[in-house]
Amino acid sequence: MTLRVEGESDVVREFVHEARRAGKKVGVVMTMGALHEGHLSLVEVANRDCDATVVSVFVNPTQFGPHEDFEKYPRQLEADLRALSSSSVDVVFAPTVDQMYGDGHSTSVCAPSISEPWEGRCRPGHFDGVATVVLKLLQIVPADVAYFGNKDYQQVQVIRAMVRDLHVGTRIVGCPILRDPDGLAKSSRNAYMTDDERAQALALSQGLSAAAELFKMGERGSAALAARIRQQLAGAGITKIDYIAVVDSDTLVEKPNAGADSIALIASYVGETRLIDNCRLGDGPIVAP
Ligand code: AMP
């Protein structure tokens, strides 16, 4: 299997068209690089489900706010290519910012209403940038299926709604969150943390686990479940919290009572690093609380 690095959108689009004309099912995994096992788990699912897999590596400037980490976001294409070389990826699409947003670029997608709460409120414009780049990438890589991680749960819901609303022909699949053995959700941003901060960050998965345990024991009050998460974060000295919420998994609306399908969402800072995590309460604890 040849791993080709392309920044030319026409070449990649033609590769996808040709593969589909030949009756192949094409999958795409979109990433910002700094690949870890979480990304590779999406590639594995794509490889399993599809006959050809395209991976994109692009740190998308339009989804970062003016005071966010666009400049310092890790960029390591060579290491990413090494990480992908053992999986059967057909094409790596790694464009430059100019190739994606050329001179005179002025069209963008206004993200669907499900983008408004939670991340959308904390990161104004973020989901417009995500929706825009995902639609652009789907124009270049018109795959049968696109695989996204449930780690960014609201992002998957935003992309599902955008694809539905704009009649995009690609099916969207959400994949499980990959974690370190101690529960920390894998993330390119984990590299920003010191050892002490990483230890503190375990409170996120522990808090989610504690809430899932409470749910298993019969607690249904969303406020009580969220309070249990908040208590775990406070115990670890995490005080800068963007949100903790127990929401409906389809609508992301907070309801007084949780069900097995409800999702607990967290966004908080550990030191300077902003982390997000979530779990489906009905799935039970991630780690022993
Ligand atoms: P990113 O490079 O952070 O934009 O992530 C690219 C894709 O990988 C997104 O669909 C993420 O949700 C997914 N992803 C990131 N971390 C994980 C993880 N720990 N487990 C599963 N998927 C992940």
Compute the distance from residue 31 Cα to the ligand 1 centre, in Å: 7
What pLDDT sits at residue 37?
A: 97
Tens digit of each residue's pLDDT (9 = 90 or more) over 159-198: 999 999 999 999 999 999 999 999 999 999 999 999 999 9
Residue 136 phi, psi dihedral angles, 5° rounding: -60, -45
Average pLDDT for 17-24? 98
Tokens of 95: 């464009």
286/132 Cα distance (integer angstroms): 33
Predicted TM-score (pTM) of the model is 0.97
Helix residue ranges, H only, the chain: 9-21, 37-49, 77-85, 97-100, 119-122, 126-140, 153-165, 195-216, 222-235
Q: Dihedral (C-alpha) 152, 154, 160, 166: value to the nearest 10 degrees?
A: -120
Band (pLDDT 50/70/90 cuts) for residue 4 is: confident
Residue with tokens 């960029």: 75
Catalytic residue among 17, 36, 39, 67: 39
Distance (Å, whole) CA 257 – CA 67: 36
For residue 158, the model assigns a pLDDT of 98
Compute the average pLDDT of residues 132-146.
Answer: 98
pLDDT band at 1 (very low <50, low <70, confident <90, very high): low
Mean pLDDT for 137-156 is 98
Distance CA 118, CA 99 (A): 31
Question: Is 39 a known active-site residue?
Answer: yes
Q: List, chain by chain if needed, residues with CB within 6 Å of any ligand 1 atom.
A: 31-32, 38-39, 41-42, 148-149, 151-152, 175, 177-178, 185-188
Higher pLDDT, 95 or 288: 95
Residue whose CB lies within 8 A of the most ligand 1 atoms, among 29, 30, 31, for a mutation test: 31
The predicted structure's pLDDT at residue 20:
98
Residue nearest to atom 18 of ligand 1 (CA): 38
What type of residue sits at position 269? Y
R_g of the chain computed on alpha carbons: 19
Is residue 95 a contact partner of residue 57, using CB atoms and an 8 Å limit? Answer: no
Cβ neighbours, 10 Å, residue 250: 11
pLDDT digits (tens, 9 = 90+) for 234-268: 999 999 999 999 999 999 999 999 999 999 999 99
Kindly give the distance from the C-alpha atom of residue 33 to the centroid of ligand 1, in angstroms, as a whole number.
Answer: 10
Q: 260: phi > 0 → left, psi -120 to 50 → alpha, else beta; which?
A: alpha
Mean per-residue pLDDT of the chain: 97
pLDDT at 2 over 70: no
Choose the residue to mutate in 30, 39, 130, 187 for probing ligand 1, maximizing ligand atoms within 8 Å of C-beta: 39
Ligand 1 mean position to 74 CA, how many Å? Answer: 14
Asked if residue 94 lies in contact with residue 56, where contact means CB atoms within 8 angstroms, the answer is: yes
Dist CA 58 CA 215 (whole Å): 39
